[in-house]
Every structure is written in structure tokens, then in C-alpha cells.
């Protein structure tokens, strides 16, 4: 029996979001219905609302979520009703070239539920990143569910579903930060702060936080930054060089997504260092660099998609580390809110007041 629940819908470009009754079908083959317990508000939800991702309105927003599996469809064996899960937006296929070569983190043949959730008049909803979890219940592909220790707070667990995983993964997976490395993180919002947590976890000796906002630099310190640079008043490339004995950082993580910060990241690394690009640029942005600098510096430029994470490997590990007190994912939850507060949370995000507002049910 299909069920009716409440969910946050973006009806059209730049229109305010609304809490609507939505219809969630029973799970079909390979699908699961999840009772959502918490879902963080991410920039990508705002981009959907603004029409910046595509025009497939109406959207069912929310994609940074944790909850309990309520029911599963035919053929689902990895998760069962009652399991506490974190949802991921990259359920790997297992059959593409990347998967078959043992690199499922680069799978671009990912899948979502085949059936659609709808409004009560039958209008099909497009779930944000194939999830749609600002809803009491949501329908996903079973492969989007990763089972983790149920004793963790759902508000904390859900964060690993997107931004926090992207940041931690940028450091530990893409950047391969090692013990004793110097790491610079440009842009200290939720993603950059998570990169700082990842760098610290990996044993970085120096972690240099760069931002244009002193409030963000204070938070970055509490996350594990050893040095801070306000790039409004100080040239960050020079400052990073100075703080690393004149060399530049072994790993520079860019978590803004703008040409000038991409350029800073490029020049702030040590010769043969690694630049990790996790900030998402807009399609019209370009960057001009002298080729001799690209050629002459060695090292690598890497882009980091979802922190190159493997949910089945990384989610349980990070929850474990959090439960042991070795990382504090709770520090990313600025406030918990209700389903009706998502529009307000977008405004606070825009003001730069929050790391994460998390809807709890
Ligand atoms: N130099 C340094 N820092 C900057 C600059 C700049 N020129 N411009 C903005 N920032 C800082 C902001 O002050 C803020 O602290 O970058 C940070 C961006 O943080 P958020 O807006 O909270 O964004 P976040 O969720 O962390 O995502 C960052 O990563 O995954 C991507 O799409 C995401 O592109 C976005 C980026
Ligand atoms: Zn694949
Ligand atoms: Zn997100």
C-alpha cells in the first residue's frame, strides 16, 4: 500500500519551498522505504530550488539523511527492515568499467529507485540527488542505504551522507594526506572544516585554514586547524609558503569553488604536492595558468567527487571514530529544526551563520 507522508517540495524556480503531502509507493525490486530520522540542509538543496541543477520541478528536497529501513522490495539482501542506515547518493553499479577495475568510487553508472514518489494529484517528484529525504519517509534504491551502528545520533549520522563525507574524504581519500604532512584548506565552511577534521585524522602536522571570514577561521581552529590566514588581508599563497618553511603545503584542499581560490590552491602547494579540488565551480568559470607552471611544478591536481568515498567502507568507519570520541561530527550540527523550517534554514545558510541545520523527525 502506498503511503502518504509530509515532505518539503520545491515547486518551481526560486519559489519558496512548501511542506506537502507526498505519496511514497511500496518498494519494488531492489528498492527500500526508509523512515527518515534526520536530514541536513545542504547547498545543493538550495541549488535545486534555484533551478541551478536542472529544470525537473517539482523537487522533493533533502539528501543528507539517516533513518531506519521500514520495508524492502524483492531481491534486497544487504539491508532489512529495522536497520539503521545512512543514505548515499552514489549507489554503485558493480558492472561498469570503473567497478570491474576495483575502483567503484569512480562509478558513474550509479542508480536510484525506479519508481517515483508523487504529489497526491499524481505529479511525479524529482528527489534531490535521487534521495528526497526532507520527508517522513522516502523511497530509495537499496544500494543507497549503508548500515551503521544504531547508537549514534541520527542528526550526526546523516551528515556523512554528503558534505561532511565530501570534506573528510577530500583529505583522506583524494588527497591521501599522510602523517606529518602540511595541509592547507582554502574555504572553511562545512566542507572545508570536514577536510580539516580529515587532515587531522590522517596525522597532518600543520593544518592551515584560509578564509575571508574571521568567524569561520575561529571554527576552523576548533576543528583542528593549527594556523589560520584571513585571505582578505593577507596573501594566502605567501602565508602558506611562510608557514611551511618556504615550500608550500604537501596537500592543498580547495573548498570554495572559485577561479581565484583554485589559483591560490595551485600555487600554494609544494613542488610535487597535491591539489584537491572539492569546491564546485559554475559551468561558465574558467582559469588561465601559464603552462610552464603547470608543467614545471610536478605533483597532481585532483578533483574530489563525494570525497571519493565508498559508503560501505567509510560510513561505518567514521561513525566508529565518532563514537570513540576520536572525531567530533556533532560539531557540524549548528541547529536542529523541523520540516517547516527549511526555507528559513536556506536564509541562514546564505548569511553564513550555520555549518549545518538538520531537520529532525
Ligand atoms: N577565499 C577564501 N574563502 C572563501 C572565499 C575566498 N575567496 N569566498 C568564500 N570563502 C569561504 C566562505 O567564507 C565560507 O566559509 O568559503 C566557505 C564556503 O563555505 P560554505 O558556503 O559553507 O560552503 P560548503 O558547504 O563548505 O561548500 C563549499 O564545496 O562541495 C562544495 O558545492 C560545495 O562549492 C561548495 C564548496
Ligand atoms: Zn559502476
Ligand atoms: Zn549535499
Give pLDDT tens digits for 43-64: 999 999 999 999 999 999 999 9
Would the pLDDT of 17 be above 90? Answer: yes
Minimum-distance ligand to the CA of 281? 1
Residue to substitute in 185, 187, 261, 308 for testing ligand 1 pocket (most ligand atoms within 8 angstroms of CB): 187
Q: What pLDDT, on a 0 to 100 scale, did the predictor assign at position 201? A: 98
**Cα separation, 103 vs 109, whole angstroms:** 12
- Measure 87 CA to ligand 2 centroid, in angstroms: 18
97 confidence band (pLDDT: 50, 70, 90): very high
Q: What pLDDT, on a 0 to 100 scale, did the predictor assign at position 33? A: 98
Q: What pLDDT, on a 0 to 100 scale, did the predictor assign at position 257? A: 95
Would the pLDDT of 337 be above 90? Answer: yes
For the chain, percent of residues with pLDDT exceeding 70: 100
Closest CA to 198 of 171, 225, 216: 171
Quick one: residue 115, left, alpha or beta (phi over 0 = left, psi -120 to 50 = alpha)?
A: beta
- Measure 106 CA to ligand 2 centroid, in angstroms: 7
- Average pLDDT value over all residues in the chain: 96
Q: What pLDDT, on a 0 to 100 scale, did the predictor assign at position 348? A: 94
> Going by DSSP bridges, is the β-strand pair 137-141/31-40 parallel, antiparallel, or unpaired?
antiparallel
**Cα separation, 304 vs 286, whole angstroms:** 18
Q: Which residues line ligand 1 (CB under 6 A)?
A: 43, 163, 166, 186-192, 210-213, 216, 231, 255-258, 260-261, 278-280, 352
Would the pLDDT of 76 be above 90? Answer: yes
* Average pLDDT of span 315-340: 97
Place of cell 505529479: 123
- Measure 104 CA to ligand 2 centroid, in angstroms: 6
Q: What pLDDT, on a 0 to 100 scale, did the predictor assign at position 244? A: 97
Cα angle value 204/210/211 (rounded, 5°): 145
Residues measured by CB to lie within 5 Å of ligand 3, the ion: 42, 44, 162
CB 62 within 8 A of CB 184: no
* Average pLDDT of span 287-292: 94
Q: What pLDDT, on a 0 to 100 scale, did the predictor assign at position 189? A: 95
- Measure 162 CA to ligand 3 centroid, in angstroms: 5
352 confidence band (pLDDT: 50, 70, 90): confident
Minimum-distance ligand to the CA of 95? 2
Length of the chain in residues, anyone?
361
Would the pLDDT of 296 be above 90? Answer: no
297 confidence band (pLDDT: 50, 70, 90): confident
- Measure 348 CA to ligand 1 centroid, in angstroms: 14
User: What are the CA-CA distances from residue 5 to residues 23, 59, 135, 180, 308 (Å)?
Assistant: 7, 15, 7, 50, 33
Would the pLDDT of 178 be above 90? Answer: yes
- Which residue puts its alpha carbon closest to atom 29 of ligand 1? 279
Would the pLDDT of 353 be above 90? Answer: no
Q: What pLDDT, on a 0 to 100 scale, did the predictor assign at position 108? A: 83
CB 240 within 8 A of CB 229: yes
0.90 exceeded by the pTM?
yes
Amino acid at each position: 500500500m502506498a503511503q502518504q507522508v509530509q515532505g518539503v517540495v520545491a515547486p518551481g524556480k526560486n519559489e519558496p519551498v512548501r511542506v506537502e503531502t507526498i505519496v511514497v509507493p511500496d518498494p519494488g525490486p531492489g528498492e527500500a522505504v526508509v523512515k527518515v530520522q534526520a536530514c541536513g540542509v545542504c547547498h545543493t538543496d538550495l541549488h535545486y530550488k534555484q533551478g541551478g541543477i536542472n529544470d525537473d520541478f517539482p523537487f522533493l528536497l533533502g539528501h543528507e539523511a539517516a533513518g531506519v529501513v521500514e520495508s524492502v522490495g524483492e531481491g534486497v539482501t544487504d539491508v532489512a527492515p529495522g536497520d539503521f542506515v545512512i543514505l548515499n547518493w552514489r549507489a554503485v553499479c558493480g558492472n561498469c568499467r570503473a567497478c570491474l577495475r576495483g575502483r567503484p568510487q569512480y562509478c558513474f553508472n550509479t542508480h536510484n529507485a525506479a519508481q517515483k514518489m508523487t504529489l497526491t494529484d499524481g505529479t511525479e517528484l524529482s528527489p534531490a540527488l535521487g534521495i528526497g529525504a526532507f520527508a517522513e519517509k522516502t523511497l530509495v534504491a537499496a544500494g543507497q542505504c549503508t548500515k551503521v551502528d544504531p547508537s549514534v545520533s541520527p542528526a550526526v549520522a546523516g551528515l556523512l551522507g554528503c558534505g561532511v563525507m565530501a570534506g573528510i574524504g577530500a583529505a583522506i581519500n583524494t588527497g591521501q594526506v599522510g602523517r606529518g604532512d602540511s595541509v592547507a584548506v582554502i574555504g572553511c565552511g562545512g566542507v572545508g572544516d570536514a577536510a580539516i577534521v580529515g587532515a587531522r585524522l590522517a596525522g597532518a602536522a600543520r593544518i592551515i585554514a584560509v578564509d575571508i571570514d574571521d568567524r569561520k577561521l575561529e571554527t576552523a581552529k576548533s576543528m583542528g586547524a593549527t594556523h589560520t590566514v584571513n585571505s582578505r588581508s593577507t596573501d594566502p599563497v605567501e602565508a602558506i609558503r611562510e608557514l611551511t618553511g618556504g615550500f608550500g603545503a604537501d596537500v592543498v584542499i580547495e573548498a570554495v569553488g572559485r577561479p581565484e581560490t583554485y589559483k591560490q590552491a595551485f600555487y600554494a602547494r609544494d613542488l610535487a604536492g597535491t591539489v584537491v579540488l572539492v569546491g564546485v565551480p559554475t559551468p561558465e568559470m574558467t582559469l588561465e595558468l601559464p603552462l610552464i607552471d603547470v608543467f614545471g611544478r610536478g605533483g597532481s591536481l585532483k578533483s574530489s567527487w563525494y570525497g571519493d568515498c565508498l559508503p560501505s567502507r567509510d560510513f561505518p568507519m567514521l561513525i566508529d571514530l565518532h563514537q570513540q570520541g576520536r572525531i567530533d561530527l556533532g560539531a557540524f550540527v549548528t541547529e536542529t529544526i523541523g520540516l517547516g523550517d527549511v526555507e528559513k534554514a536556506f536564509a541562514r545558510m546564505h548569511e553564513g551563520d550555520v555549518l549545518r541545520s538538520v531537520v529532525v523527525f
